[in-house]
Amino acid sequence: MKSAITTLVALGALACGSAPAPLDLVALSSSTDHSCGIKRNGGIVCWGDNEDGGLGNGTRQPSHTAQSISGALTFRIVAAGGSNSCGVAVDSTAYCWGEGAMGQVGYGVMADTATPVRLSGGLAIAAISMSSMHGCAVTTSGVGYCWGDNTTGQLGNGSNAMTGVPVRIAGGLSLASVRTGFGYSCGVTRQGAAYCWGSNYAGKLGTGRAADSPVPVPVAGGLTFRAISTGAGHACGVTPDDLVYCWGSGAYGALGNGGTTDSPTPAVIAGAVKFKSVSAGFGQTCAVTDGGVVYCWGKNDTGQLGDSTTTQRALPAPVKGGLHFASVSAGSGFTCGLTTAGAAYCWGYNQGGQLGDGTATQHDVPVRVTGQ
C-alpha cells in the first residue's frame, strides 16, 4: 500500500503530463497490486503500485494510468505477478522485472530490477506465469521450469532450495501451460491432465490429500482441462465441455458452489452457465462465457466482483455494465477484463492505481483503463 503523499505525487505527475487516452490491448494480466497489458504494436504497458519496480518503467512510483515499460521489445505474452512481471517476446525469449529478493525475476541475481532483464537459461518460452515469490514457464518443446522461492516445494523440482535461475520441473511431464499461485503451482499437460505441486494449504493442490508436494502430483478426479488458473488459496480449471471446477479454500465463496467450505478435490461450480475461461484471484473468481459475459463470485469487500455491490457471493453473478469480454484476470481486491474490441476495464480496489482510470477512487463496476 502507498501513503497518501505518494499517491498525490503520482497523480500530480500525471496531471502535468499529456492527457491519457482510452487504451486498446490484445492481452491483459493482473496481480496482487498492478496489471500489465500488450498493445496492438506489441509494446507492454503496466499500471498500479510500483514499490518494487513491477511496472518496468525504471521508476518506483505508482501509476494510475497505463505506462510503457522500458525498452523497445515486441511481446506476445505478458504475466503480472505479485510485485513483478514477465513478458515473452515474439522470438520466444522471456524478460522479467520487479521484486527479485527471492530470485523470482529469474535472472540469477537476488535483487529487484525496475527495468526488464532477460530470463536466465536461454530458454524458448511458450507460456509463463508469475506469483509474488516465484515464476514458472513452459518451453516450446513442453518442458516446465520454475524459479524463485521454494519454501513449500512450489518449484516442483523435488527440493526446497530457493534459486534465482530456472530449474526443471520433475516428472518429465509434457506441459501445455503452467500457472503459479501463492506457494504452489499447477500445470496442464498436452493431453489435458492437471498436476499441481507445492503448498497444499486448504487442499489447493486438488489431490484429495493434505500433504504438500515438492514434485507434480495429479489433480484428483481424472478430469481433462483446457486450462487452469491458480489464486492465493484456490484453483479453478475449465474442461473441454466448458464446465468450471474449483478446489482449495472455500473462504468467501470462492469455489462458486454455494458454500464456504474447503474442497481438496475439484467441484463443479453451481448453475447452468458454461464458460470458456476462468481466473482465480485472492478470494474471488471470475469467468467468461462464450457470449462474452463475465461472472464473478467470492470475496467482494472492495467491489472486485463488479456487480455494483460489496456483497460477498458464493454463487456466480454477472458483472454490471453490459460489456462483452474476451478475457478476465482476477487480482488482489480488484479485477480487470479485456473486451472483444480490445478495451481494458477494471473494478474494485484502487488506492495504488490498480484500476488504471487516472484516479485512486474505488469502483464496484467496470471503469476503462487509460494510458499513453
Instruction: Read off the pLDDT of residues 71-88 as tens digits, 9 standing for 90 and up.
Output: 999 999 999 999 999 999
Q: What is the pTM of this model?
A: 0.94
In the structure, what pLDDT confidence band is assigned to residue 19 with cuts at 50, 70 and 90?
A: low
Calculate the CA dihedral of residues 225, 229, 235, 239 and round it to 10 degrees: -20
Q: What is the pLDDT of residue 8?
A: 34
Whether the predicted pLDDT of 1 surpasses 80: no
DSSP 107-157: SS-SS-EEEEEEPTT---EEEEEE-SSEEEEEETTS-EEEEE--TTSTT-S
Give the helix ranges, DSSP H, for the chain.
4-16
Give the residue carrying C-alpha cell 512510483. Answer: 61
In the structure, what pLDDT confidence band is assigned to residue 11 with cuts at 50, 70 and 90?
A: very low
Interatomic CA distance for residues 297 and 86, integer angstroms: 28
Q: Determine the distance from the C-alpha atom of residue 348 to the mean position of all C-alpha atoms in its chain, rounded to a whole number.
A: 16
Which three cell numbers, joined as nine digits, stand for 355? 484500476
**Amino acid, res. 316:** P
Q: What is the pLDDT of residue 23?
A: 83
Order of strands, sheet of 263-268, starting from the edge strand that comes earlier in the sequence:
227-230, 234-238, 244-248, 263-268
142 burial via Cβ count (<10 Å: 0-12, 13-18, 19+): middle
Q: What is the pLDDT of residue 2?
A: 37
Nearest one of 298, 294, 316 to 366, comparing CA atoms: 294
As a whole number, mean pLDDT of residues 58-74 equals 97
In the structure, what pLDDT confidence band is assigned to residue 4 with cuts at 50, 70 and 90?
A: very low
CA atoms within 13 A on the CB side of 247: 26
Q: Is 251 helix (H, G, I), strand (E, B) or coil?
A: helix
Q: How far from 2 is each of 124, 153, 363, CA to CA, in Å?
A: 37, 31, 18
How many residues does the structure list for the chain?
A: 372
In this structure, are residues 183 and 199 in contact, taking their beta carbons and an 8 Å threshold?
yes
The conformation of residue 203, written as its DSSP 8-state character, comes to G
Per residue in 186-199, pLDDT (tens digit) is 999 999 999 999 99
Q: What is the pLDDT of residue 92?
A: 98
Q: What is the pLDDT of residue 12?
A: 37
Per residue in 295-323, pLDDT (tens digit) is 999 999 999 999 999 999 999 999 999 99
Q: What is the pLDDT of residue 9?
A: 33
In the structure, what pLDDT confidence band is assigned to residue 31 with cuts at 50, 70 and 90?
A: very high
Per residue in 223-270, pLDDT (tens digit) is 999 999 999 999 999 999 999 999 999 999 999 999 999 999 999 999
Interatomic CA distance for residues 367 and 104, integer angstroms: 31
Domains and CATH numbers, the chain: 4-371 (2.130.10.30)
pLDDT > 90 in the chain, percent:
93
Which three cell numbers, joined as nine digits, stand for 359? 484516479
Q: What is the pLDDT of residue 15?
A: 38
In the structure, what pLDDT confidence band is assigned to residue 293 with cuts at 50, 70 and 90?
A: very high
Interatomic CA distance for residues 176 and 28, integer angstroms: 19
5 φψ region: left (φ > 0), alpha (ψ -120 to 50), beta (else): alpha
Whether the predicted pLDDT of 22 surpasses 80: no
In the structure, what pLDDT confidence band is assigned to residue 165 with cuts at 50, 70 and 90?
A: very high
Which three cell numbers, joined as nine digits, stand for 120? 536466465
Q: How far from 41 is each of 19, 67, 255, CA to CA, in Å?
A: 20, 14, 37
